[in-house]
Structure 1
Amino acid sequence: METKNEQKAIIDIGSNSVRLVVFSYSRVKGLIEHLNIKTVARLSMHIDEDGNLSSEGIHILIENLLKFKDILNDISVTDVFAAATAAIREANNCEMVLLEAQKQTGIQISLLSGEQEAYYGYLAVIHSTNITTGVTIDMGGGSTEVTYFENKKIKFSHSFLFGAVSLKKKFIQGSSITLEEKENLIAYVLEQFQGLPWLHNLQAPVVAIGGSARNLAQVDQQRKNFALHGIHQYELSASDLQEISYEFAQFSFERLKKLDGLSTDRADIIVPALETFRIFMEVVNSSAFIYSKKGLREGIILAHLIDQSPDDFIVNDVTKNAIRHVLGKFNINENESLHLFGIFSSIYDKFMQWGYIAPLHNNKLLRPAFQLFHIGKEIEQDAYSQQTFHIITNLTIDGISNEDRLKIALIASYKNKGTFKQYIEPYQHIISTMESKNLRDVGALIRFIKGINVLGRSPIKDVLLTKTAANTIEFIFLVSEKYMLEQCQAEKLKRHLEKIVDMEVKLKFVDMEEIQE
């Protein structure tokens, strides 16, 4: 698979569904998903008594591959990687199925081992989150892959020979699970997990991959009226899973199918998946269940890209890379977005030292907030603040949690106290009054710094801050070359500084050549 900007297709032949996804990649804009089409195939339900994929199952597979091939031909995508997982991997007639599929469709299918499937999921997680030590669980229709990683390095992996569809087939006779069936399913899953010694009591966050995990995250967002857009890196607690389990037990199958957040085609398999996740949390002794939107398909793409451009995929630069990709989509240069960040940092540090600004709960948010400040201007100049807040609260930014993304949005959209109050109003249950003030003050400080950077040039080289006896703060900007425009803007915007420190601010611009003389 090449690493240029050409589109690349992944056909993911799973036990529950067959999915076609088309990606492209560039260092500036990152991995972009252009097309995502799923068909519910339930191939694992077509394994017969002899352990073979039935003729009907083979027909469903080939029919879907031919449909996807027609689509790819229509959009002129020729770089295709087809991967098959548990349903075909565990079929006794696996080789025949692969040969027949290639014969009738011309598509060569790569059969992934359980270990490969687990690895690709892990790879996607470490490159799209800032979780350094954790446990992944990727529950498909016919298998469940788990890994454990420390400092983003994989330590263990395993593939269990059960998934949401196969558990339903094994334990549930009707459309809804009975109490006895549920108890038997739980006992079976617990026995499987307990048979893997390295899994016990890891006390690490669980990162869940796959459609069932996504649906549970969506259900939880609906039940909590979660106000922020975005599902990647959404976190549930062990008690959340227990509460959902209790609620599902009260629902009929018909009610489950209509439940907000739950896909209709997963209504019959969501309970086996939920109980598996819940038991997994108990065995691992974890309190955090985090959904990762990035999984097998992204892992496959990443494996190819990393081989070709390793410097683009440093696991400890997840957020830095994600911000670069956001900026790239708006045609903003990463380095230019950081112009005067050093000046901002000097003032911020001095304000903290003097007690005018309290440190943020996470100071790592300062850099991305500075880079994304007023990014909405790229869409509409007159409504840049509203556009900025909307963009960031509706973006997925790898390595940044939903709550931190909200904080970045509040800082980066800062215009004045009035708009800040308007934006934060629906989220006061998330952000405390004290932190709200901190975010507002940081936004005001960035507003000043970004505001004096009118043309993106670099006359300001350093800044010195002094307190005077007259209860004022003097800013001395050391500049080179022409600086009249910056000086005019600074005078116009200094009110934002005065609201932070609650005293008079005086500004002075000094040519560095005059100092040297």
Structure 2
Amino acid sequence: MTIKTDKKAIIDIGSNTIRLVVYSYSPSNGLVEHHNFKMVARLSMYIQQNGELSEDGIIVLIETLKKFKEILLAIQVDDVFAAATAAIRQASNREEIVALVEKEIGFQLMVLSTDQEAYFGYLAVTHTTNIHTAVTIDMGGGSTEVTYFENKKLIYSHSFPFGAVSLKSKFIKGSMITSQEIKNLRKFIQDQFESLEWLKDLQVPIIAIGGSARNIVQVDQQRKNFGLNGTHQYELKRKDLAEISEGFAACSLEDLKKIDGLSSDRADIILPALETFRVFMDVIDSTTFSYSKKGLREGIIITQLMELFPTNFNVSEVTSKAIRQVLGKFGVMEESALHLYDIFYPIYTQFCEWGYIEPLENEAFLQYAYQLFHIGEHIDRDGSSQHTFYLLTNITIDGLSNKERLRLALLASFKNRNTFKKYVDTYPNIIPEEEYHQLRDIGALIKFVHGIDVLGKSNIRTVTLKRCEETINITFHVFENYLLEKYHAEKFKKHVEKISTSEVIIEFDMEETINE
């Protein structure tokens, strides 16, 4: 199905939930989610012994789709892609269901194969993270898809015919799981995973997709009082999963429903999912478990968008594309955001060589911070620093974890040392002391150069630096008028002097012609 309008709906008919999500896409703004509606259907519970989805299950499906169609009419979205996964795929009467959906609702229902479901999850992960080699696990209600990719190329994929809902039905009989039930559950899952030879001892990161993984991340953030917003690329260790499991196992169903971060409609199936992830880590011998907010639905729409915009989906440019799209939301072109970066960079590298600043390992990250410096001025100029910091710590930027976004926000929002300290104190125990000084001083250098470029079209061509016993001389080589640059250089040089603890002398050298 091709995209005919600026908004597109994906209906994801899973074994546990049925979800309607509405997106739009443009090269400048990227993929934007406008609406997200969920109905807990538990379709896998309606699969009968003869393999058919029962009449009651079909009624739940049709009634939910009717409600979604009413919503789509209300928001005037007519481009709809409906996909079904394990519950419908495993139903022996799936062809009748597909025909009934088209007759009653008018939707052409695509029943995804296990390979398609695994592929879409892999595609979403590789286009929205910077992890080059990993395994993915997408645990739904009735199936669990796993993939292994190297250098972002899919190597293996597999679908297991069990999910959180079916495991709960098979192994948990009461309102609280018993130690024997946990033992039986883990043994079953381990046997399943170990039957796949390529999974064993991979020793690579794990990227989890789906609602159960999201809930586990949210619970971990709540128990750690993790203040940074966002779940995409949030990481947990094996110890974290073990501690959460221990806490969950001691809870009744009613107690689980009260846990912050855990959806009440997922409380009864969270333990099977959690134990699956724990066993998965053991089999792979992985030390890192992270969550991808982007999964099946994003994979579907990315596949379709790649046909229309083939040059816009390069898996090696995940973060740079995401930064362009943040700029695009404010109508800022990438080229203009990088103005005078060629002046900033030699100042930065010279200060690193002189030992005033510890260099960043990732130079691309430095460029991102420069591009986004005080992006919040497009909201309100007087509060540009505060708006920048809040914006960057509260949006998802593909390819960056929560902690990386905090570092980016601290660099891009630098105003002065006091404000920097206030921002860091907002999120205690995340930025270590040595990194505190590194980010603070790099942010000050970025502010110095951006401060000089007050009109966004400075006539500065090059810069040279010289260090004497008690002074640092910075000479800007310019053409044409440099009155504003000179005024602002003197105004903001105090930030440079605090880094070097030396007097900074600013000079301007007029060049008569521009060398081509």
Query: Structure 2 length as normaliser, TM-score?
Result: 0.98
Following superposition, the deviation at residue 426 of structure 1 comes to 3.6
Q: 1:257 matched to which residue of 2?
A: 257
Q: 1:480 matched to which residue of 2?
A: 479
Q: 2:28 matched to which residue of 1?
A: 28
Query: Does structure 1 residue 136 correspond to structure 2 residue 136?
Result: yes
Q: 2:313 matched to which residue of 1?
A: 313
Query: Does structure 1 residue 296 correspond to structure 2 residue 304?
Result: no
Q: 1:100 matched to which residue of 2?
A: 100
Describe how 1:238-257 pairs up with structure 2 within 5 A: 238-257=238-257
Contact 1:22 1:34 in 2 (8 A): yes
Describe how 1:342-421 pairs up with structure 2 within 5 A: 342-421=342-421
Q: 1:501 matched to which residue of 2?
A: 500
Following superposition, the deviation at residue 449 of structure 1 comes to 0.5
Q: 2:183 matched to which residue of 1?
A: 183
Following superposition, the deviation at residue 482 of structure 1 comes to 2.1
Instruction: Give the distance between the partners of 1:70 and 1:421, measured in 2 at CA.
Output: 50
Following superposition, the deviation at residue 176 of structure 1 comes to 2.4
Over residues 397-440 of structure 1, what are the superposed CA-to-partner deviations in whole Å (9 max), with x where a residue is unaligned? 11011111111111111111111111111434121111101111
Instruction: Give the distance between the partners of 2:156 and 2:248, measured in 1 at CA.
Output: 33
Following superposition, the deviation at residue 250 of structure 1 comes to 1.2
Instruction: Give the distance between the partners of 1:302 and 1:362, measured in 2 at CA.
Output: 28
In terms of mean alpha carbon deviation, does 406-415 or 207-216 score higher? 406-415
In terms of mean alpha carbon deviation, does 310-319 or 379-388 score higher? 379-388
- Name the SS of the counterpart of 1:231 in structure 2: coil
- 1:90/1:45 Cα in 2 relative to 1: closer, same or farther (>3 Å)? same
Following superposition, the deviation at residue 259 of structure 1 comes to 0.4
Contact 1:5 1:26 in 2 (8 A): no
Instruction: Give the distance between the partners of 1:281 and 1:503, measured in 2 at CA.
Output: 52
The percent identity for this pair of structures is: 59
Over residues 68-106 of structure 1, what are the superposed CA-to-partner deviations in whole Å (9 max), with x where a residue is unaligned? 111111111111100000000001111111111111111
Following superposition, the deviation at residue 497 of structure 1 comes to 0.9
Contact 1:11 1:21 in 2 (8 A): yes
Over residues 446-504 of structure 1, what are the superposed CA-to-partner deviations in whole Å (9 max), with x where a residue is unaligned? 001111111111411111111235x2111111112222111111111111111111111
Q: 2:89 matched to which residue of 1?
A: 89
State the one-letter code of the partner of 2:454.
V
Contact 2:3 2:79 in 1 (8 A): no
Q: 2:228 matched to which residue of 1?
A: 228
- Name the SS of the counterpart of 1:290 in structure 2: strand
Instruction: Give the distance between the partners of 1:150 and 1:512, measured in 2 at CA.
Output: 51
Q: 1:330 matched to which residue of 2?
A: 330
Runs of at least 5 residues in structure 2 that lack an aligned partner in the other structure: none
Instruction: Give the distance between the partners of 2:259 and 2:413, measured in 1 at CA.
Output: 35
Instruction: Give the distance between the partners of 1:309 and 1:323, measured in 2 at CA.
Output: 18
- Name the SS of the counterpart of 2:273 in structure 1: helix
Describe how 1:113-152 pairs up with structure 2 within 5 A: 113-152=113-152
- Name the SS of the counterpart of 2:173 in structure 1: coil
Following superposition, the deviation at residue 231 of structure 1 comes to 0.7
Q: 2:430 matched to which residue of 1?
A: 430
Contact 1:465 1:475 in 2 (8 A): yes
Over residues 135-191 of structure 1, what are the superposed CA-to-partner deviations in whole Å (9 max), with x where a residue is unaligned? 000000000000000000000000000000011111122232222222111111111
In terms of mean alpha carbon deviation, does 364-373 or 189-198 score higher? 364-373
- Name the SS of the counterpart of 1:34 in structure 2: strand
Instruction: Give the distance between the partners of 1:40 and 1:444, measured in 2 at CA.
Output: 50
Instruction: Give the distance between the partners of 2:190 and 2:467, measured in 1 at CA.
Output: 65
Instruction: Give the distance between the partners of 1:226 and 1:434, measured in 2 at CA.
Output: 21
- 1:93/1:514 Cα in 2 relative to 1: closer, same or farther (>3 Å)? closer
Contact 2:12 2:20 in 1 (8 A): yes
Contact 1:29 1:329 in 2 (8 A): yes
Following superposition, the deviation at residue 376 of structure 1 comes to 1.4
Q: 2:201 matched to which residue of 1?
A: 201
Following superposition, the deviation at residue 514 of structure 1 comes to 6.8
In terms of mean alpha carbon deviation, does 81-90 or 383-392 score higher? 383-392
Following superposition, the deviation at residue 2 of structure 1 comes to 4.1
Query: Structure 1 length as normaliser, TM-score?
Result: 0.98
Q: 1:510 matched to which residue of 2?
A: 509
Contact 2:5 2:79 in 1 (8 A): no
In terms of mean alpha carbon deviation, does 380-389 or 220-229 score higher? 380-389
Q: 2:468 matched to which residue of 1?
A: 468
Following superposition, the deviation at residue 111 of structure 1 comes to 0.8
- 1:461/1:263 Cα in 2 relative to 1: closer, same or farther (>3 Å)? same
Contact 2:228 2:427 in 1 (8 A): no
Runs of at least 5 residues in structure 1 that lack an aligned partner in the other structure: none
Following superposition, the deviation at residue 356 of structure 1 comes to 1.1
Instruction: Give the distance between the partners of 1:51 and 1:319, measured in 2 at CA.
Output: 45
- 1:362/1:4 Cα in 2 relative to 1: closer, same or farther (>3 Å)? farther
State the one-letter code of the partner of 2:369.
A
- 1:4/1:105 Cα in 2 relative to 1: closer, same or farther (>3 Å)? closer
Instruction: Give the distance between the partners of 1:4 and 1:336, measured in 2 at CA.
Output: 32
Instruction: Give the distance between the partners of 1:444 and 1:216, measured in 2 at CA.
Output: 38
- Name the SS of the counterpart of 2:334 in structure 1: coil
Following superposition, the deviation at residue 364 of structure 1 comes to 3.3
Instruction: Give the distance between the partners of 1:247 and 1:362, measured in 2 at CA.
Output: 38
Following superposition, the deviation at residue 360 of structure 1 comes to 2.6
Instruction: Give the distance between the partners of 2:331 and 2:396, measured in 1 at CA.
Output: 18
Following superposition, the deviation at residue 5 of structure 1 comes to 6.3
- 1:453/1:149 Cα in 2 relative to 1: closer, same or farther (>3 Å)? same
In terms of mean alpha carbon deviation, does 425-434 or 457-466 score higher? 425-434
Contact 2:175 2:252 in 1 (8 A): no
Contact 1:4 1:26 in 2 (8 A): no
Following superposition, the deviation at residue 368 of structure 1 comes to 1.2
Instruction: Give the distance between the partners of 2:2 and 2:485, measured in 1 at CA.
Output: 46
Instruction: Give the distance between the partners of 1:208 and 1:229, measured in 2 at CA.
Output: 18
Following superposition, the deviation at residue 380 of structure 1 comes to 1.6
Instruction: Give the distance between the partners of 1:2 and 1:324, measured in 2 at CA.
Output: 25
Contact 2:175 2:253 in 1 (8 A): yes
State the one-letter code of the partner of 1:311.
T
Contact 1:144 1:161 in 2 (8 A): yes
- 1:5/1:359 Cα in 2 relative to 1: closer, same or farther (>3 Å)? farther
Q: 1:277 matched to which residue of 2?
A: 277
Contact 2:176 2:249 in 1 (8 A): no
Contact 1:5 1:25 in 2 (8 A): no
Contact 2:141 2:165 in 1 (8 A): yes
Instruction: Give the distance between the partners of 1:62 and 1:344, measured in 2 at CA.
Output: 60
- 1:383/1:265 Cα in 2 relative to 1: closer, same or farther (>3 Å)? same
State the one-letter code of the partner of 1:503.
S
Describe how 1:75-86 pairs up with structure 2 within 5 A: 75-86=75-86
Q: 1:268 matched to which residue of 2?
A: 268
Contact 2:257 2:264 in 1 (8 A): yes
Describe how 1:452-463 pairs up with structure 2 within 5 A: 452-463=452-463
- 1:468/1:193 Cα in 2 relative to 1: closer, same or farther (>3 Å)? same
State the one-letter code of the partner of 2:111.
L
